[in-house]
Amino acid sequence: QVQLVESGGGTVQAGGSLRLSCTGSGGTFYSKSASWFRQAPGKEREFVAGVAGINFSGSSQYYADSVKGRFAISKDNTKTTVTLQMNSLKPEDTAIYYCALTKSPTASVPRGRSGYDYWGQGTQVTVSS
């Protein structure tokens, strides 16, 4: 059973940066897709960014339109970590951020929660104006 633990959340002023990390134990990240989701108070959990486990096309990172150009996701299979570099943060980025991992090797990056088998407990990101 894979366990995921997020870290790196905190409070930052608008325009600032944060780097979130998700560290896994109990299993491998090889060929598995990993993503970050976020959930703001009173809202549904939404897809933020994902990286494909198997890359056929040369482009393996995918982003929600709201964060494209500001956030960057990367996956280190050796260290079983997934990071999310967040730059130019806005107050509307305030949410609990969760990392997620598929159970099986895949080239797809699901945008919905049901596509993932493992979840972390979340880390709070607060962006003040």
Predicted pLDDT of residue 55? 84
Range 64-102 burial, b when 16+ CB lie within 10 A, else e:
beebeeebbbebeeeebbbbbebeebeeebbbbbbbbbb
Residuewise pLDDT in 10s, the chain (129 residues): 899 999 999 999 999 999 999 999 999 899 999 999 999 999 999 999 999 999 876 669 999 999 999 999 999 978 799 999 999 999 999 999 999 999 999 999 999 999 999 999 999 999 999
| Helical H segments across 25-80, by residue range | none
Predicted pLDDT of residue 79? 75
Name the token pair of 98: 């969760």
